[in-house]
């Protein structure tokens, strides 16, 4: 579609009528609250808290941030004493900074030392909260909102639904329980969370997911702006670097792996912020030859962040967990000391799982080896 053919963006959503639809379970699609999760307990502790802190996992993605902001906006709407933050590096990509309420998020330095109730979003374990692990340890009540299968429930109240398409779905069910009015701002945050964690409605996109999405749009979610800001725009430098990352992709047919890497030098030479490289691995995942896509990204301290994406045969969440990380079946990650070690972890884990293939022992011809080989 040419840019001119795109529908005009709206600032405040599509809904023409001022009132969002009331949630009537008999007729309204949307998140089910019948999951057996302790929504009443979560509602009660939040209602009686003298201070409420909201935090999500490090390097927030749209689900982490969108689910946090949905509850943040709801609590602000109810005049509740809420403070929201996320771990250092305290940086949101441009694609997320516009989400309603993002401007109210405070730097970790300004987050209260102790809060009555701390709510965590989209973090499968305490380590993903970095410096907020301390706050979690000291909160009178810890409420955990998540959908990672590996989440063992590290809170006092655990709203963890591994069947939820996004953490935002769990928040939506909680808001429904709390009888919160779903404003366009809240709907937009929940829609961003859902769209991201369904790969823009490419997986987990069953009828209930799609009717929930439609309900959010009916509540005023600005779906066009979510698509345009999060996936439809990037700095030119980030696009150029993506080009390089794809050119140096390496395919190892014996373990059905396509991989590439980003160094700190790459970021400097293209003037790119690390947060603008979060989605690069999705482009690698498109390589039809490979069952697993892997992107190694150097961190400021020289450690390497490994992002894994799959096509269903291999449980990458379990694989990443063996290396100190975690995630979902088809999207997972971990962090380790160097490119060499990261590569050894990935190839070593995939080798025993490889499907037998007669021709497969060496990388595809013409591949330029990168620092992951060291
Ligand atoms: P990413 O590759 O960073 O986009 O992450 C993909 C998935 O893996 C997300 O669901 C993350 O929550 C999860 N994940 C990534 N890194 C880690 C880690 N170090 N520990 C636990 N889970 C992770
Ligand atoms: Mn996440
Ligand atoms: Mn998620």
Q: What is the mean pLDDT of residues 97-122?
A: 97
Q: Among the atoms of ligand 1, which is closest to the Cα of residue 295?
A: 2
Phi-psi region of 179 (alpha: psi -120 to 50; beta: other; left: phi over 0): left
Q: What is the mean pLDDT of residues 84-103?
A: 96
Task: For residue 84, give both structure tokens.
Answer: 């929201």
Q: What is the pLDDT, as a whole number, of residue 169?
A: 97
Residue with tokens 């190839």: 347
What ligand is nearest to the CA atom of residue 306? 1
Global pTM exceeds 0.85: yes
Q: Among the atoms of ligand 1, which is closest to the Cα of residue 148?
A: 10
Q: What CA–CA distance (Å, rounded) separates 306 from 106?
A: 28
Residues 291 and 311: beta-carbon distance below 8 Å: yes
| Residues framing ligand 1 (Cβ under 6 A) | 124, 128, 307, 325-328, 331-335
Q: Among the atoms of ligand 1, which is closest to the Cα of residue 127?
A: 20
CA atoms 356, 362, 367, 368: torsion sign: positive
Q: What is the mean pLDDT of residues 132-143?
A: 96
Asked if the peptide bond before residue 89 counts as cis, ω within 30 degrees of 0, the response is yes
Task: For residue 35, give both structure tokens.
Answer: 């999951």
**Given 3-state DSSP classes, what are the helix, strand and coil percentages for the chain, each rounded to the nearest 5?**
40, 15, 45
Helices (H), 91-183: 94-97, 132-138, 167-177
Segment holding 252, helix H or strand E: strand 250-252
Task: For residue 284, give both structure tokens.
Answer: 């690698």
Residue nearest ligand 1's atom 4 by CA = 307
Residues 345 and 255: beta-carbon distance below 8 Å: no
Cα 165 to ligand 3 centre (Å):
8
pLDDT in tens, 333-371: 999 999 999 999 999 999 999 876 544 444 433 333 334
Which of 122, 121, 171 lies closest to 331 in space, CA to CA? 122
- The mean-pLDDT minimum among 4-13, 284-293, 309-318, 355-364 falls in 4-13
- Kindly tell me if the per-residue pLDDT of 285 is higher than 60: yes
Cα 279 to ligand 3 centre (Å):
14
Q: What is the pLDDT, as a whole number, of residue 354?
A: 82
**What is residue 359's three-state secondary structure?**
coil
Q: What CA–CA distance (Å, rounded) separates 177 from 74?
A: 12
- Kindly tell me if the per-residue pLDDT of 239 is higher than 50: yes
Residue bearing the bigger pLDDT, 290 or 34: 290
Domains located in the chain, CATH noted = 10-231 (3.90.1640.10), 236-373 (3.10.310.30)
Binned at pLDDT 50, 70 and 90, residue 91 comes out as: very high
- What is the edge-to-edge ordering of all strands in the sheet holding 52-56? 82-85, 52-56, 117-121, 141-146, 157-160
- Kindly tell me if the per-residue pLDDT of 15 is higher than 70: no
């Amino acid at each position: 579609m040419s840019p001119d053919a795109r529908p005009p963006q709206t600032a405040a959503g599509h809904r023409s009528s001022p009132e969002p639809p009331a949630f009537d379970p008999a007729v309204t699609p949307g998140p089910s609250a019948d999951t057996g999760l302790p929504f009443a307990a979560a509602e009660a502790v939040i209602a009686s808290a003298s201070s409420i802190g909201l935090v999500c996992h490090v390097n927030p993605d749209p689900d982490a941030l969108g689910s946090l902001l949905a509850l943040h906006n709801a609590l602000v709407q109810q005049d509740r004493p809420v403070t929201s933050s996320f771990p250092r590096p305290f940086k949101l990509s441009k694609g997320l900074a516009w989400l309603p309420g993002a401007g109210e998020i405070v730097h970790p330095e300004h987050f209260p030392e102790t809060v009555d109730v701390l709510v965590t979003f989209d973090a499968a374990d305490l380590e993903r909260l970095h410096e907020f692990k301390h706050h979690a340890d000291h909160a009178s009540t810890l409420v955990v909102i998540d959908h990672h299968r590996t989440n063992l429930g590290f809170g006092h109240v655990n709203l963890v639904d591994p069947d939820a398409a996004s953490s935002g779905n769990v928040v939506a069910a909680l808001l429904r329980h709390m009888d919160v009015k779903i404003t366009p701002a809240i709907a937009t945050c929940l829609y961003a969370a859902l769209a991201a964690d369904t790969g823009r409605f490419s997986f987990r996109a069953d009828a209930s997911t799609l009717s929930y999405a439609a309900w959010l749009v009916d509540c005023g979610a600005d779906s066009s702006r979510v698509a345009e800001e999060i996936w439809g725009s990037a700095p030119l430098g980030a696009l150029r670097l993506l080009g390089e990352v794809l050119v140096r992709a390496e395919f190892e047919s014996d373990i059905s792996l396509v991989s590439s890497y980003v160094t700190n030098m790459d970021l400097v030479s293209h003037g790119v912020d690390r947060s603008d490289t979060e989605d690069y691995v999705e482009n690698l995942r498109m390589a039809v030859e490979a069952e697993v896509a892997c992107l190694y990204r150097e961190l400021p301290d020289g450690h390497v962040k490994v992002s894994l994406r799959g096509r269903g045969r291999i449980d990458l969440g379990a694989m990443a967990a063996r290396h100190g990380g975690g995630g979902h079946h088809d999207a997972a990650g971990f962090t380790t000391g160097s490119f060499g070690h990261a590569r050894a972890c990935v190839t070593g884990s995939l080798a025993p799982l490889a499907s037998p293939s007669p021709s497969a022992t060496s990388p595809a011809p013409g591949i330029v080896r990168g620092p992951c080989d060291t």
